[in-house]
Amino acid sequence: MNRGDVLSVDLSAGEVVNTTTGARATGSPADPFLIDMLEAGGLIALAAKRPELFGT
């Protein structure tokens, strides 16, 4: 990876692609709770949208 390279990150698949060079790296997928939290806009937003996850 070099300064100016563009990366594509897929947290669900655990994959990072350097779209500038085509290089790929894989790892473990992110926890589904983390993905839900990021998609909701943060922990507080997730709690507001899905209070059942927090026992309220």
Per-residue pLDDT tens over the stretch 1-56: 999 999 999 999 999 999 999 999 999 999 999 999 999 999 999 999 999 989 86
Q: Give the pTM.
A: 0.72
pLDDT per position as a tens digit, 36-48: 999 999 999 999 9
Assess contact for 7 and 16: CB atoms under 8 A: yes
Tokens of 48: 């507001």
